[in-house]
Amino acid sequence: MAAPSCSAPGLCGPLLRSLFTLVSKPFCSTAAASRPLDAQQLAEKLRAQKREQKRKEEAVPTDPVQRRVQELVRFTQQLQRIHPNVLAKALSRGILHQDKDLVVINKPYGLPVHGGPGVQLCISEVLPILAKVLHGHKAEPLHLCHRLDKETTGVMVLAWEKEVAHQVQELFRTRQVEKKYWAITVRVPMPSAGVVDIPIIEKEVQGQQQHYKMTLSPSYRMENRKMVKVRTSRNAQIAVTQYQVISSTVSSALVELQPVTGIKHQLRVHLSFGLDCPILGDHKYSDWNRLAPQKLPVGTLKKLGLIQSKARYIPLHLHARQLILPPFGSRKEELQLVCKLPRFFVHSLRRMGLEMPNQDENEHSEARPPGAQ
């Protein structure tokens, strides 16, 4: 087949050159893109990506709501990125009490006691490292004496010897340990002091998201304005909580709680379902039917500097404030253990206009860096 001829000799040269340029550019760029990066170029590319990511993380939003959200997100995620050695050293710097039998730590927020699906870091995993930090490389691992929920902060007792750990566990089991917790509640308990004595049972929640929760299993109910005793489920467990309001506003309160029994999630269930005053940041027990972020009043959100869509980042404000261990073994005197509030808890108290007792105010009066939790 004959090659096509050009009827305009003056245009053929430039036209063919431009056509060759247009056609060849995609092939050239494709070839360049497929050419593998050498080690130096790859390293520089990765460094540039890390610099950009760091710049985005460190950028402080001008909007106070977004700034507060950023603080909460960073706080709730940082624990799972910490190396066990780093965590052990941090725990050692915050030890509340140490002697030949016991080590008492300040348990951080968001750190589970035991491992499980999706758990990257837990207290039990760190105990051998913490023992070596405190007593050298030949030290035997520490032993757990009791447990706290992942979201609960505060006093946690460990023992050097397994026998001592069993003795302390027996004290907890027989209800000889006096425990005091502090919580910030949404709404104010009425009356301001009292006892919640309602059994608790675990039940399956029906709906789109089937799940299990602890809930109340009352021994009495109202019928025709009369209190009638009902048959208690054999799976229900006795649960008793003493409480007292320390400070309150119109819509919130700082409450001291003394659990007489030690049922799973007892304080959260008694406050939310028994007194209709869920703990701030309790996204599980603020609503029985749903697994969803806690729905907060507009006034509370305003004080916290948040909008409802960001409430999911609010941590549970429940703190193991004090433990009193009675004499046991060779110990002749009771041991009082007190743990100061975490920074995020103090920050929320101030935002919500709640006051602490004087001695606790002095304890937390030191200056905090901007954005500190």
CA 115 to chain centre: 15
- 221 forms beta bridges with 228
Counting as low any pLDDT under 70, the low residues of the chain are 1-37, 56-62, 64-66, 68-69, 72-80, 359-373
Given 38, 63, 99, 149, the catalytic residue: 149
Domains of the chain by residue range: 65-174+323-342, 176-219+235-316
Q: What would the pLDDT profile of 95-121 be if each residue is shown by its tens digit?
A: 999 999 999 999 999 899 988 777 778
Q: Taking the CA of residue 85 as centre, how many other CA atoms within 13 Å lie in the half-sphere pointing to its CB?
A: 1
pLDDT at 367: 36
Query: Over the Cα atoms of the chain, what is R_g?
Result: 30
Asked, as a colleague might, if the bond just before 297 is cis with ω within 30 of 0, I would say: no
Parallel, antiparallel or unpaired: strands 318-325 and 153-159: parallel
CA dist 18 and 1 (Å) reads 25
Contact 253, 188 (CB under 8 A): yes
Contact 128, 361 (CB under 8 A): no
State the SS3 of the chain: CCCCCCCCHHHHHHHHHHHHHHHHHHHHHHHHHHCCCCHHHHHHHHHHHHHHHHHHHHCCCCCHHHHHHHHHHHHHHHHHHCCHHHHHHHHHHCCCEECCCEEEEEECCCCCCCCCCCCCCCHHHHHHHHHHHHHCCCCCCCEECCCCCCCCEEEEEEECCHHHHHHHHHHHHCCCCEEEEEEEEECCCCCCEEEEECCEEEEEECCCCCEEEEEECCCEEEECCEEEECCCCCCCECCEEEEEEEEECCCEEEEEEEECCCCCCHHHHHHHHHCCCCECCCCCCCCCCCCCCCCCCHHHHHHHCCCHHHHHHCCCCEEEEEEEECCCCCCCCCEEEECCCCHHHHHHHHHHCCCCCHHHHHHCCCCCCCCCC
Fold of 176-219+235-316: Pseudouridine synthase (3.30.2350)
Question: What would the two tokens of residue 6 be?
Answer: 């050009």
Q: Exposed, middle or buried, 158 (CB in 10 Å: 0-12/13-18/19+)?
A: buried
CA-nearest of 316, 315, 333 to 324 is 333
pLDDT at 288: 85
99 as an active site residue: the answer is no
Parallel, antiparallel or unpaired: strands 178-186 and 318-325: antiparallel
Task: Give the distance between the most distant pair of CA atoms in the chain.
Answer: 114
Contact 72, 311 (CB under 8 A): no
Q: At what angle do helices 84-93 and 123-135 cross, to 10 degrees?
A: 60
